[in-house]
Amino acid sequence: MIDRLGHGFANPALLQQALTHRSAGAPHNERLEFLGDALVNLFMAEALYQRWPQADEGALTRARAELVRESALAPIARALELGGRLTLGPGEMKSGGHRRDSILADALEAVVAAIYLDAGFETCRERVLPWFVQAMDALPPAHKVGKDAKTRLQEWLQGRQKPLPVYALLSESGEDHAKSFRVSCTLSQPPLTSEGEAGSRRAAEQLAAEEALRLLKADD
């Protein structure tokens, strides 16, 4: 865990609390999540302000929203392997809470707060910013921020007079309160198929479109 986070805790109890869901009893991570949410928003605002010196307030606000939303934080939590370290109550364990985007995103924010309380502001920013580099690099140009992946993919294809993508539901699994949808996005010109999986079909389609855009840019 230290290697993944890049931080060795002087007070390991802070990390333990950050990874404890309220379903497991107190002390849990909700207060840390509150503090971590503010820290992540500040770190992203500062990073975008420096990265995009010509962007206006609206573009910066939309870009920050993209970086701090639940579906953006959860993959970072997975990359840090937080799911396997979560302490959950029996009900959440049974329902696969360690895989749920909302729980993972909250835990990530709580870990950020734990690092801040353990080592201070500068160290926290130094540890946390690298986690978001890939997401920041994947942002569209400032003037296009705010357009979702399906819209951007459609515009990319229309601008080149290519057929529009076809989305298809590949599978649906999980109980009603924790559904998982896997969706494909298929392009005929150029021939390409990508997939996305999320807690709703709409979100899965967005992820599939995002992956298609990534593959198209890689081929350019």
- Known binding-site residues equal 33, 106, 109
In the set 66, 92, 109, 205, the catalytic residue is: 109
CA angle 215, 78, 167 (to 5 degrees): 40
**Amino acid in the structure at residue 35:** L
Contact 157, 187 (CB under 8 A): yes
* C-alpha to C-alpha distance for 45 and 39, rounded to whole angstroms: 10
Q: How many CA atoms lie within 13 A of 192 on its CB side?
A: 22
Based on the residue annotation, tell me whether 109 is a catalytic residue of this protein: yes
Q: Which residues pair with 169 in a beta bridge?
A: 183
Q: How far is CA 35 from the centre of its chain?
A: 18
Based on the residue annotation, tell me whether 37 is a catalytic residue of this protein: yes
Binding residues for Mg(2+): 33, 106, 109
Element (H, E) at 201: helix 201-219
- Residues noted as catalytic: 37, 109
